[in-house]
Amino acid sequence: MSDAPATSTTATKRKSTGSSTAPRKKAAVKDPHASARDLVASINESPLTFTSPEGDDEVRKTFVAIAAYTKSLEPVRKSASDIEDAKERLNRTIVGGIKKLMTWKPSCKTGSAKFSHDGICTDPMVFGALLGLDDKPNWKMKKYTINEIENILGEHISKEIRYDCLYLTSDVNVRWNEATGEFKFTGSYGKPV
Protein backbone atom coordinates (compact mmCIF):
# COMPACT_ATOMS: atom_id res chain seq x y z
CA MET A 1 0.00 0.00 0.00
CA SER A 2 1.10 3.45 -0.74
CA ASP A 3 1.34 6.33 1.73
CA ALA A 4 0.42 8.89 -0.97
CA PRO A 5 -2.98 10.53 -0.61
CA ALA A 6 -5.64 9.47 -3.06
CA THR A 7 -6.03 11.95 -5.91
CA SER A 8 -9.40 12.98 -7.12
CA THR A 9 -10.16 13.73 -10.75
CA THR A 10 -12.97 16.16 -9.97
CA ALA A 11 -11.87 19.65 -9.00
CA THR A 12 -13.71 21.50 -6.29
CA LYS A 13 -15.05 24.92 -7.11
CA ARG A 14 -14.13 27.90 -5.06
CA LYS A 15 -17.03 29.22 -3.03
CA SER A 16 -18.38 32.66 -3.68
CA THR A 17 -17.70 35.19 -0.96
CA GLY A 18 -21.10 36.74 -1.56
CA SER A 19 -19.74 40.23 -1.01
CA SER A 20 -19.14 41.01 -4.66
CA THR A 21 -21.97 42.88 -6.27
CA ALA A 22 -22.56 44.10 -9.76
CA PRO A 23 -21.28 47.63 -10.34
CA ARG A 24 -23.96 50.23 -9.88
CA LYS A 25 -24.97 52.46 -12.72
CA LYS A 26 -24.32 56.15 -12.39
CA ALA A 27 -27.32 58.13 -11.36
CA ALA A 28 -28.76 60.06 -14.25
CA VAL A 29 -27.90 63.75 -14.02
CA LYS A 30 -31.00 65.89 -14.00
CA ASP A 31 -30.95 68.52 -16.74
CA PRO A 32 -31.37 71.94 -15.08
CA HIS A 33 -32.77 73.40 -18.29
CA ALA A 34 -35.24 70.62 -19.14
CA SER A 35 -38.33 72.75 -18.49
CA ALA A 36 -37.00 75.65 -20.57
CA ARG A 37 -36.01 73.27 -23.38
CA ASP A 38 -39.50 71.72 -23.35
CA LEU A 39 -41.11 75.16 -23.39
CA VAL A 40 -39.00 76.27 -26.36
CA ALA A 41 -39.83 73.02 -28.18
CA SER A 42 -43.57 73.48 -27.57
CA ILE A 43 -43.40 77.09 -28.79
CA ASN A 44 -41.56 76.01 -31.94
CA GLU A 45 -44.05 73.19 -32.59
CA SER A 46 -47.13 75.40 -32.33
CA PRO A 47 -46.29 79.10 -32.15
CA LEU A 48 -49.94 80.20 -32.30
CA THR A 49 -51.45 77.78 -29.80
CA PHE A 50 -48.86 77.18 -27.07
CA THR A 51 -50.00 77.74 -23.49
CA SER A 52 -48.51 80.76 -21.80
CA PRO A 53 -47.86 80.89 -18.04
CA GLU A 54 -50.44 82.53 -15.77
CA GLY A 55 -49.51 85.44 -13.51
CA ASP A 56 -46.54 87.76 -13.35
CA ASP A 57 -44.44 85.46 -11.17
CA GLU A 58 -44.82 82.51 -13.55
CA VAL A 59 -44.02 84.68 -16.59
CA ARG A 60 -40.94 86.05 -14.80
CA LYS A 61 -39.77 82.52 -13.85
CA THR A 62 -40.27 81.41 -17.45
CA PHE A 63 -38.21 84.33 -18.80
CA VAL A 64 -35.44 83.64 -16.29
CA ALA A 65 -35.43 79.93 -17.21
CA ILE A 66 -35.27 80.70 -20.94
CA ALA A 67 -32.51 83.29 -20.37
CA ALA A 68 -30.46 80.77 -18.36
CA TYR A 69 -31.02 78.13 -21.05
CA THR A 70 -29.87 80.45 -23.86
CA LYS A 71 -26.84 81.46 -21.77
CA SER A 72 -25.93 77.78 -21.38
CA LEU A 73 -25.99 77.38 -25.18
CA GLU A 74 -23.29 80.02 -25.72
CA PRO A 75 -19.80 78.59 -26.23
CA VAL A 76 -17.45 79.13 -23.32
CA ARG A 77 -14.69 81.62 -24.10
CA LYS A 78 -11.24 80.11 -23.70
CA SER A 79 -8.66 81.80 -21.53
CA ALA A 80 -5.33 82.90 -23.00
CA SER A 81 -3.55 79.92 -21.44
CA ASP A 82 -6.15 77.49 -22.86
CA ILE A 83 -5.70 79.02 -26.32
CA GLU A 84 -1.92 78.77 -25.96
CA ASP A 85 -2.13 75.09 -24.94
CA ALA A 86 -4.46 74.27 -27.84
CA LYS A 87 -2.18 76.21 -30.20
CA GLU A 88 0.86 74.17 -29.12
CA ARG A 89 -1.02 70.87 -29.62
CA LEU A 90 -2.23 71.99 -33.05
CA ASN A 91 1.30 73.14 -33.95
CA ARG A 92 2.80 69.74 -33.03
CA THR A 93 0.07 68.00 -35.02
CA ILE A 94 0.68 70.08 -38.15
CA VAL A 95 4.48 69.81 -38.06
CA GLY A 96 4.31 66.07 -37.38
CA GLY A 97 1.74 65.58 -40.14
CA ILE A 98 3.82 67.45 -42.71
CA LYS A 99 6.97 65.53 -41.75
CA LYS A 100 5.10 62.24 -41.96
CA LEU A 101 4.02 63.12 -45.51
CA MET A 102 7.61 63.91 -46.56
CA THR A 103 8.54 60.53 -48.02
CA TRP A 104 11.01 59.80 -50.79
CA LYS A 105 9.64 59.98 -54.31
CA PRO A 106 11.54 60.39 -57.58
CA SER A 107 10.21 63.96 -57.81
CA CYS A 108 12.19 64.78 -54.63
CA LYS A 109 15.32 65.02 -56.81
CA THR A 110 13.94 68.18 -58.41
CA GLY A 111 12.25 69.45 -55.24
CA SER A 112 8.78 69.11 -56.72
CA ALA A 113 7.19 66.39 -54.55
CA LYS A 114 3.82 67.57 -53.21
CA PHE A 115 2.36 67.32 -49.73
CA SER A 116 -1.13 68.10 -48.49
CA HIS A 117 -1.89 68.01 -44.77
CA ASP A 118 -5.57 68.23 -43.77
CA GLY A 119 -6.86 68.84 -40.28
CA ILE A 120 -9.67 70.25 -38.20
CA CYS A 121 -9.54 73.06 -35.65
CA THR A 122 -13.02 73.90 -34.41
CA ASP A 123 -11.91 77.05 -32.58
CA PRO A 124 -11.06 79.89 -35.00
CA MET A 125 -9.24 81.80 -32.23
CA VAL A 126 -6.80 78.89 -31.76
CA PHE A 127 -6.12 78.69 -35.50
CA GLY A 128 -5.63 82.47 -35.61
CA ALA A 129 -3.21 82.27 -32.67
CA LEU A 130 -1.28 79.53 -34.46
CA LEU A 131 -0.81 81.80 -37.46
CA GLY A 132 0.21 84.75 -35.27
CA LEU A 133 -3.04 86.66 -35.76
CA ASP A 134 -4.82 88.62 -33.04
CA ASP A 135 -8.20 87.33 -34.16
CA LYS A 136 -9.60 84.51 -36.26
CA PRO A 137 -8.47 84.36 -39.91
CA ASN A 138 -10.63 86.49 -42.19
CA TRP A 139 -9.44 84.77 -45.36
CA LYS A 140 -10.12 81.43 -47.02
CA MET A 141 -6.64 80.92 -48.48
CA LYS A 142 -3.27 82.51 -47.87
CA LYS A 143 0.19 81.82 -49.24
CA TYR A 144 3.17 81.83 -46.87
CA THR A 145 6.83 81.71 -47.84
CA ILE A 146 9.02 78.94 -46.43
CA ASN A 147 10.59 81.32 -43.89
CA GLU A 148 7.20 82.67 -42.80
CA ILE A 149 5.66 79.22 -42.27
CA GLU A 150 8.75 77.97 -40.40
CA ASN A 151 8.66 81.07 -38.16
CA ILE A 152 4.93 80.56 -37.54
CA LEU A 153 5.35 76.88 -36.71
CA GLY A 154 8.55 77.63 -34.78
CA GLU A 155 10.53 74.86 -36.38
CA HIS A 156 12.71 74.24 -39.44
CA ILE A 157 10.68 71.63 -41.28
CA SER A 158 12.91 68.90 -42.69
CA LYS A 159 13.07 65.14 -42.67
CA GLU A 160 16.10 62.92 -42.84
CA ILE A 161 15.95 60.12 -45.35
CA ARG A 162 18.44 57.37 -46.05
CA TYR A 163 21.30 59.33 -47.63
CA ASP A 164 19.98 62.87 -47.68
CA CYS A 165 17.54 65.31 -46.12
CA LEU A 166 14.24 66.64 -47.49
CA TYR A 167 13.19 70.28 -47.06
CA LEU A 168 10.27 72.49 -48.01
CA THR A 169 10.99 73.87 -51.47
CA SER A 170 8.01 76.09 -52.24
CA ASP A 171 5.58 78.49 -50.67
CA VAL A 172 2.95 76.86 -48.47
CA ASN A 173 -0.72 77.49 -49.17
CA VAL A 174 -2.99 77.48 -46.13
CA ARG A 175 -6.71 77.02 -46.72
CA TRP A 176 -9.22 77.62 -43.92
CA ASN A 177 -12.95 76.91 -43.81
CA GLU A 178 -14.42 78.71 -40.80
CA ALA A 179 -17.81 77.02 -41.09
CA THR A 180 -16.42 73.49 -40.68
CA GLY A 181 -13.07 74.25 -39.01
CA GLU A 182 -11.19 72.35 -41.71
CA PHE A 183 -7.74 73.52 -42.78
CA LYS A 184 -5.23 72.34 -45.36
CA PHE A 185 -1.51 72.99 -45.70
CA THR A 186 -0.17 72.28 -49.20
CA GLY A 187 3.22 72.79 -50.80
CA SER A 188 6.28 71.13 -52.28
CA TYR A 189 9.29 69.46 -50.74
CA GLY A 190 12.39 67.63 -51.83
CA LYS A 191 16.14 67.99 -52.02
CA PRO A 192 17.33 71.59 -52.17
CA VAL A 193 17.90 72.60 -55.78
| Same domain membership, residue 108 and residue 45 | no
- Same domain for 45 and 85, yes or no, is no
pLDDT at 27 over 70: no
Assigned domain for 41 exists: yes
Average pLDDT taken over every residue of the chain: 85
Whether 90 and 185 map to the same domain: the answer is: yes
Residues 163 and 147 placed together within one structural domain of the fold:
yes
Inside any domain, residue 137 = yes
Alpha-carbon gap, residue 71 to 32, rounded angstroms: 12
Domains held by the chain: number: 2
Residue 60 lies in a domain: yes
Report pLDDT digits (tens) over 132-164: 988 889 999 999 999 999 999 988 899 998 888
| Residue 7 lies inside a defined structural domain of this protein | no
Residue 117's pLDDT is: 95
Residue 120 lies in a domain: yes
Shared domain for 141 and 67, answered yes or no, is no
**146: number of Cβ within 10 Å:** 18
124 φψ region: left (φ > 0), alpha (ψ -120 to 50), beta (else):
alpha
Residues 52 and 142 grouped into a single domain: no
Q: Are residues 114 and 142 in the same domain?
A: yes
123-134: pLDDT as tens digits: 899 999 999 988
Tell me the Cα Rg of the chain: 31
Shared-domain flag, residues 86 and 118 = yes
Could you tell me if 161 and 122 lie in one domain? yes
Boundaries of domain holding 39: 34-73
**150 and 180 assigned to the same domain:** yes
- Please tell me the distance from the alpha carbon of residue 137 to that of residue 121, in angstroms, as a whole number: 12
- Give helix 56-73 / helix 34-45 axis angle, nearest 10°: 100
At 134, phi and psi to the nearest 5?
-80, -20
**Mean pLDDT value across residues 162-184:** 92
Using 50, 70 and 90 to split pLDDT, how confident is the model at 105? very high
| Nearest 10 degrees: Cα torsion 61, 62, 68, 74 | -160
Q: Which residues, 6 or more positions from 189, have their beta carbon under 8 angstroms from its beta carbon?
A: 102, 108, 111, 113, 114, 115, 166, 167, 168, 169, 170
User: Residues 66, 91: one domain?
Assistant: no
Report which of 100, 137, 93 is spatially closest to residue 115, judged by C-alpha positions: 100
Report the candidate in 164, 163, 78, 165 with the shortest Cα–Cα distance to residue 128.
78
Q: Are 109 and 179 contained in the same domain?
A: yes
